A and B are shown apart, each in its own frame.
Chain A
Amino acid sequence: MSAGPGGAKLLVMTARTAARALRRNRLRSGLTMLGMIIGVASVIAMVSVGAGADRFVQQQLASFGTNIVMVIPGAVTSGGARSGWGGASTLTVADADALARVPELAAVTYSRRQVLQVIYGSANWSTVVQGVTDEFERVRDWQVASGGFFGERHEKSGAKVAVLGQTVARHLFGPGQDPVGAIVRIKNVPFKVIGVLAAKGQSSWGQDQDDVVMIPFSTAERRVMGAGILGTVEMIYASARTTADLPVAADAIATVLRQQHHIGHGQEDDFTVRTLEDMTGASAAASEVMGNLLLAIASISLLVGGIGIMNILLVSVTERTREIGLRMAVGAKARHILLQFLTEAAVLSMTGGLVGVATGLAATHLIGRLAQWPTALEPASLAASFLFSGVVGIFFGYYPAYKASRLDPIEALRWE
């Protein structure tokens, strides 16, 4: 059999025959496609919602600062009792200074925090007062909206300056009042407001990040939080140079701190190093479970759609037994018959797929509009689900097509 032009001709004829056969049974074809349509549409809607949620989480993470690594004191065993993390004061300013020399780290800062009353005139607000170094702005990638952040000289001199978070600024100052230059009191110590931080919104675990007042660490240590041991810090923040450096940076931090703390082999760390990836791991796992669940649902509807196609093709093969016999009598080879029914299956499922893509797009749009969920369209998923519908059609169409191609022409011609 000629392959080149003959093959092209056959393909044209086969496609034409398939289209005609499906047009003849419009209602039946439409109902058969329904499974495919629902399957493909749900895949697309699900991927769009999933991608939208992912993007939302990514934005949340970015709001916390890029490539951030946190070190928390903790898990100290004393006399058999282990404290949880954050339960010990094992981290020091000296540790942070040692970490500043790790090449993978772009910046290091540290903090102590305490919930305190902040007073301005007759207004007061209970908030988290955080003593941090001037590098904090860089590590957390957090700009000021007005005024400025404190610098090294404020830190060295223990200056009584404060930078307010948006929430604090809003609660202490009336609209139209510029906090910059005002004096607020924390624990009876007057602080001059030198800047207001840009809004960061909620953290991914629901905390209002803007409900905060930043003061220089040295000032916090000496004037406000006192009590504790001088030189201890509650948390060290460091930022890796690149995202790719994160795991190396985390390891390097652990190594340096073990040296600093004289922790030998086999001994437990008295600190915990966490990257944002660790912290978001749980939520990522949850969204993965959700994604898999939706994928399972979509797979089931595609499976049902495929079975529908198989069923209707089996009916079609039976109905058209005589036609198949005739085609064989006038020279159709087994593969011609196979190709014809496979084409019908593919046309059926891919038309369903196309309608499904359109329906999925509409559904995505509607979800975005009505439920206000973040959605993100992924062109690759559109293409993939369309192609997959074709694959499903051909897979489930193969058996009926094979059955048709194995018919005996004499028997088929005699079929009533």
Chain B
Amino acid sequence: MAAAAGGAPLIETVGLARRYALGDATVHALVDATLRIDAGELVAIVGPSGSGKSTLMNLLGCLDRPTAGVYRLDGREVGGLDGDARAEIRNRRIGFVFQSFNLLARTTALENVELPLYYGPLPLAEQRPRAEAALARVGIAHRAHHVPSRMSGGEQQRVAIARALVGDPALVLADEPTGNLDSRTSGEIMTMLVELNRATGVTMVIVTHDPEVAAATDRVLEFRDGRIVADTPAAPRHGARTRATRAEA
């Protein structure tokens, strides 16, 4: 497990930017994002659609490469790495949780959770116990041999969370993890993510539209037009939303 020693920077970006060419026009999806997220933090990213949240998540997740700026993960510059090196970082250091779960259909929960281990260094014989442990951790060990279509949305998202955790990453990136769930299930999932963050010290960055979700985190980054417009520590838990709203104004 990555060091949970609070205070050590896990993510450091300096002037991170991402531009796309869209026909003749250039879209500035992310402009000059400079931020630091320490190991063990639980951070929410909020903002309207197209504000650059997803772009940042893709960059932090090493799915995309910045057009400018520096991205250091664990002190290592990773922004300029090639596809294979980024794939290896995703495999070893990062777990993803998606809004639409992205589980493989007609594949059991257990095998879904094992998927990242295929591409990692863990010997074949140790994969199954690891995946089983990850499922137990999110409380659905009893559903291990069910396929996603036989599970509820909440269960599917738990499987996805188990898949994100199975490789023992330093960073979990969740893109609207409760976006497809009803409010009760959504609350359960958020409670679980917070609990996992507290218990394992895994750093979590959650993109969300939902103020309740943001309120459950320690820190809220707000995006607008490709820029970070507010960075609010949610110290007194109940005040988080108010502050965010105020900063927006």
Contacts and interface: CB of A to CB of B under 8 A. Distances in A.
B241 to A, nearest CB: 30
B88 A1 contact: yes
B158 interface: no
Given A326-B104, A329-B90, A330-B96, A336 B63 contact: no
B236 interface: no
B24 interface: no
A322 B121 contact: no
Contacts of A323: 104
Contacts of B84: 1, 333-335
Contacts of B102: 322, 325-326, 329, 413
A44 B221 CA distance: 69
B90 A410 contact: no
B87 A331 contact: yes
Interface size class of A (residues with CB under 8 A): 20 to 34
Interface stretch (A7-15, A164-172, A226-234, A344-352): A7-15
B91 A331 contact: yes
Q: How large is the interface on B (under 10, 10 to 19, 20 to 34, 35 or more residues)?
A: 20 to 34
Contacts, number: 66
B163 interface: yes
Contact of B118 (A13, A325, A328, A413): A13
A24 B121 contact: no
B163 A410 contact: no
B98 A6 contact: no
Interface string B97-112: 0100010101000000
A329 B61 contact: yes
B30 to A, nearest CB: 13
Contacts of B106: 24
B120 interface: yes
A138 interface: no
Interface in A347-378: none
A5 interface: yes
Given A13-B118, A336-B119, A409 B63 contact: yes
Contacts of B116: 330-331
Contact of B90 (A9, A322, A330, A413): A330
Interface string B160-173: 00010001000000
Contact of B119 (A5, A24, A331, A410): A331
Contacts of A335: 84
A323 to B, nearest CB: 6
Nearest to A329: B96
A330 B121 contact: no
Contacts of A409: 63
Contacts of A24: 106
A302 to B, nearest CB: 32
Nearest to A334: B83
> At the interface, is chain A mostly helix, strand, loop or mixed?
helix
Interface string A307-347: 00000000000000011011111111111100000000000
A334 B119 CA distance: 11
B64 A410 contact: yes
Interface in B40-93: 58, 61, 63-64, 83-84, 87-88, 90-92
Query: Which residue, of A6, A9, A12, A330, has the highest number of chain B Cβ atoms within 10 A?
Result: A330
Contacts of A12: 124
Nearest to B96: A329
A2 interface: yes
B118 A5 contact: no
A2 B121 contact: yes
A5 B126 CA distance: 13
B23 interface: no
A410 B58 contact: yes
B7 interface: no
Interface in B97-152: 98, 102, 104, 106, 115-116, 118-121, 123-124
Contacts of A322: 102
Contact of A330 (B58, B64, B115, B123): B115
Contacts of A336: 119
A9 B91 contact: no
B182 to A, nearest CB: 22
Given A24-B106, A323-B104, A413-B98, A331 B63 contact: no
Contacts of A329: 61, 63, 90, 96, 102
Contact of A332 (B61, B92, B119, B167): B119
Nearest to A2: B121
A12 B117 CA distance: 13
Given A323-B104, A326-B102, A329-B96, A6 B91 contact: no
12 contacts: A2-B121, A325-B102, A327-B115, A327-B119, A328-B90, A329-B90, A330-B91, A331-B87, A331-B116, A332-B118, A333-B87, A410-B58
Given A1-B84, A329-B61, A331-B92, 15 more contacts: A9-B118, A10-B119, A322-B102, A328-B90, A329-B90, A331-B87, A331-B120, A332-B118, A333-B119, A334-B83, A334-B87, A336-B119, A410-B58, A410-B63, A413-B102
Interface of A: 1-2, 5-6, 9-10, 12-13, 24, 322-323, 325-336, 409-410, 413
